[in-house]
Amino acid sequence: MRTKTLLLAAALTAAGIASTMAQSNVYSLNVVGYVNVTYGTGFTLVSTPLNNANNAVSNLLANVPLGSTVYKFAGGNFVLNNLDEDGAGWQNPTDDLSPGTGYFVRNVSGTPYTNTYVGEVLKGNLTVAVGPGFSLVGSKVPQAAKSQVLGVNPGLGDSIYRFAGGNFVIYNFDEDGAGWGGGPPEPGLTEGPDIAVAEGFFFRNVSILNNATFTRNFTIP
């Protein structure tokens, strides 16, 4: 198994999508694979890393602990979807968690849980639309990279909110044209903050008139 893992990691490197993440392990060959994501106790902000034929919560999160809750963000408010503690299933089993959508998973079991996402690596011209104000989003590609490498195209004054340790770390795209700032020091911040595989994040679009679109043209050699 260890050898197979190394071979798959080598294939990922060749394809340009090998990456590491403290709470996820990525194994993929060609365009199909799986991503392991660990939900700690409490809240974890994630985004579906691979495209499945069925991206409903009841399929992608079929085996999470009873009592778990998914929080999606729409219209300036959170929409909750609970997994019944009595085993009755998800409150809204068809809720869509397609790649590009960010969402919180609240694990109330008291023990970290690892969820396995299975599906294909999306490729081609990939877009994520964001409206004015706050949007909860993620990369459609399972790649750890700077936000602008992943296709985030900020306007002056826009912000990215990453969730870590129960708090948000805020990165601002300076209104004076100085580029990205804020958050802890990290190399290459000129291209935005680091975004991990399967990480969701808030994007704040300060324009009250214009929608924004993140576009990534992704190919696998």
Which three-class secondary structure state does DSSP give residue 195?
A: strand
- List the structure tokens of 140: 């459609």
| Contacts of 216 by beta carbon, 8 Å cutoff, 6+ apart | 125, 126, 127, 139, 140, 141, 150, 151
Q: Mind listing the pLDDT tens digit for each residue in 100-110?
A: 999 999 999 99
**Residues 6+ positions from 51 with CB-CB distance below 8 Å:** 98, 99, 119, 120, 121, 122, 140
Position 188 scores a pLDDT of 74
Residue 7 pairs with which residues in a beta bridge? none
Per-residue pLDDT at 19 exceeds 60: no
Per-residue pLDDT, averaged over 62-81, amounts to: 95
What is the pLDDT, as a whole number, of residue 140?
95
Average pLDDT over residues 183-199: 88
Reported as a single tens digit per residue, the pLDDT across 120-158 is 999 989 999 898 999 999 999 999 999 999 999 898 899
Q: Fill in the DSSP letter of residue 101.
A: B
Residue 215 has a pLDDT of: 87
CA 39 – CA 17 distance, rounded (Å) = 22
pLDDT in tens, 78-93: 999 999 988 789 999 9
pTM: 0.84
Q: Which residue did the predictor score with more confidence, 46 or 219?
A: 46
Whether residue 205 is predicted with pLDDT greater than 90 in this model: the reply is: yes
The pLDDT of residue 4: 27
CA distances from 124 to 141, 147, 173, 211 (A): 10, 18, 27, 22
Nearest to 122 by CA among 29, 51, 24, 217: 51
Residue 92, exposed/middle/buried by CB under 10 A (0-12, 13-18, 19+)? Answer: middle
Share of the chain above pLDDT 90, in %: 62
Q: 189 in helix, strand or coil?
A: helix
